[in-house]
Structure 1
């Protein structure tokens, strides 16, 4: 017997189709609409309707197949915050940001403290720790950066409640200041439109005088990390730059590899 759809799935499907008409590219709804949907369709409400019904669909999980079947070729629905307790299904270009397997990697001597390696609680925390302690943000952008805050949960007026995995501030040789929102992706987690949209909106609202450069990090394997600078152009996530770093013991970097790195740097 097929498994019956979860309450979360039932609520999001009913909310969408109560408001969607063929050809729509935006479908607006509110948290109050989620409760109205439950009443109308006789679904027991979730304890936390905002996070419970929406969080995983906004950042981690595919929308139910009933909704996915309305997507035109090359497009996908994402759920965006549009203010306090206000949301939008928006049709955007499909994101498929994956590490380029043919890209050269650079070996970085591992500076992660052994205690951190031992006690990091999750793959996401382990990834953020590797990036932080090995100063990969500095290496990637060529500026001096500092971790300002991890797992920031705050509110943006135009979006509502958001979460950012980690935020860095930085400075370059010209004295320019940077704000760098960073998202960490592990396993099958996708680098997608919704989180990048909120990260950029937060930086524009909170730090309008700083240069914003959005970063995503993804484990390719336990030692190999892909970093992407990302932006949004029209309705698409675009890669500005991609680099790969392999975290290794210092003794694993040969003299020949150092010579190759010297050659790369002189281009």
Structure 2
């Protein structure tokens, strides 16, 4: 993948997240692949972390667990819960909306929003969306 393709996919990812969270109008900040040391857990990896501001000035933090198209790459509750613990530790005053993103076999993108729970068994699914990116030539 070229650098240009990577930047373009990043922009598409931002568009999808902006659509998923329609109330964002002030933009999204983006941090790629973040490792964190979480008390009581150890090292935790986040594939991406977004921060967004709504029109009322409320700040949201979106920790993201990303999975490839491979059938072996499954979204796991333990990883999501550890991601929540990391976001709670590092961003205690913000609203956290943990996401898992997975490329699907038909080239669509699935996004699952989870509850802000730090224990795997307490996690629940808040929303599930599926998107297909279509490139239109002008």
Taking only aligned residues, the RMSD between alpha carbons, in angstroms, comes to 2.4
Paired residue secondary structure (1:248): coil
**Partner residue in 1 for 2:11:** 133
Task: Give the distance between the partners of 1:165 and 1:203, measured in 2 at CA.
Answer: 12
Q: Deviations over 1:179-210 (max 9, x none)?
A: 11001111121111111111111111111111
- Cα offset for 1:238? 2.1
- Cα offset for 1:251? 5.0
- Cα 1:204–1:249 change in 2 (3 A) is same
**Partner residue in 2 for 1:244:** 130
- Cα offset for 1:235? 1.2
Q: Is the 8 A contact 2:36 2:86 kept in 1?
A: no
Task: Give the distance between the partners of 1:182 and 1:244, measured in 2 at CA.
Answer: 16
1:156 alignment partner, one of 30, 34, 38 = 38
Question: What are the within-5 Å matches in structure 2 for residues 1-267 of structure 1?
Answer: 115-117=3-5, 130=9, 132-134=10-12, 135=14, 136-142=16-22, 143=24, 144-147=27-30, 149-186=31-68, 187-188=70-71, 189-221=73-105, 223-231=107-115, 232=117, 235-250=121-136
Paired residue secondary structure (2:92): coil
Residue ranges of structure 2 left out of the alignment (5+ in a row) = none
Q: Is the 8 A contact 1:193 1:236 kept in 2?
A: no
Which structure would you say has the larger Rg?
Answer: 1
TM normalised by structure 2 equals 0.81
- Cα offset for 1:221? 3.3
Q: Is the 8 A contact 2:81 2:123 kept in 1?
A: no
**Partner residue in 2 for 1:123:** none
Task: Give the distance between the partners of 1:203 and 1:197, measured in 2 at CA.
Answer: 10
- Cα offset for 1:138? 1.1
Higher helix share: 1
- Cα 1:198–1:234 change in 2 (3 A) is closer
